[in-house]
A and B are shown apart, each in its own frame.
Chain A
Amino acid sequence: MADQVLDAKGLNCPLPILRAKKALKDMATGQTLEIVATDPGAVKDFEAFCRTTGNELVSSNEGGGTYTFVIKRTG
């Protein structure tokens, strides 16, 4: 279970990334953020976001028209 859940459903680029960044900023190192999105572009974008910021993309799943990402704040 993630420490915090962010509902980014219905939001388009770049809002899921911007909202995730805002949530991560207020979290402690080691905590996890789950993001639920409907934007298919978010799959590549969260990979890129994590690569650049140094946060860990713990999982990336697709199912039932939604995409679920878990990011661990490490960066």
Chain B
Amino acid sequence: MLDDSNAKSMTIIVTKGTLDWAYPPFILATTAAAMGLEVTMFFTFYGLGLLKKDLNLKINPLGNTAMEMPMAGGHMAMPNILAAMPGATALTSAMMKNMMKKKGVASIEELRELAVEADVNMIACQMTMDLFEYRKEDMVDGITLGGAASWVDVATRSDINLYI
């Protein structure tokens, strides 16, 4: 409960910015907002990139032994030596996005827009902005800038606090 209303509340610290890891925070944030919760997302380190106006999220299976893709009725992992080749990131990212589209999975752009529409409170970490030299105008509208204390303040009054 963040204010006098009886609504439950949730915060999510978003630390990862690859195509796969962008999903859990945005899926949970939009769903919780749809279920009446007040949601705050705090974007820090690589998660901060998810607030950029132009998203071009990528994924590479290099070193990720758990990443298998459905192929010819089975599942196949890409050997590390192939994942390290030039073009492997672009290829894998395109394959993943294509597969998501075919299966009716929302794009991150779509989920982010839904989060903004649902009044999800998005805080961009000021320290990370300075560290990686991002400007506020590089980021989508409607975000606020803040630091660790901003999150702690909201978190102390929230029912659910997640770190992703």
Chain A residues within 8 Å of B, Cβ to Cβ: 10-15, 17-18, 20-21, 39, 48-49, 52-53, 75
Is B106 interfacial (CB-CB < 8 Å)? yes
Q: Residues 96-114 of chain B: 1 if any A CB is under 8 Å from the residue's CB, otherwise 0?
A: 0000000111100000001
Q: Evaluate contact between A12 and B105: CB separation under 8 angstroms.
A: yes
User: B105 touching A18 by the CB < 8 A rule?
Assistant: no
Q: Is the CB of A14 within 8 A of B27?
A: yes
A17-B34, A53-B35 provided; 12 other pairs, C-beta below 8 A?
A10-B104, A12-B103, A12-B104, A13-B105, A14-B27, A14-B31, A14-B106, A15-B104, A18-B30, A48-B35, A49-B34, A75-B36
A11 — nearest CB in chain B belongs to which residue? B104
In the complex, which residues of chain B have a beta carbon less than 8 angstroms from the beta carbon of A14? 27, 30-31, 34, 106
Whether A17 contacts B103 in the complex (CB less than 8 A), given A52-B36, A53-B36, comes out as no
Give the interface SS of chain A, mostly helix, strand, loop or mixed.
Answer: helix
- Distance from A14 Cβ to chain B, minimum over Cβ atoms (Å): 4
Which of B30, B31, B36, B103 has the largest count of A CB atoms less than 10 A from its CB? B31
Residues of B within 8 A of A15 (CB): 104, 106
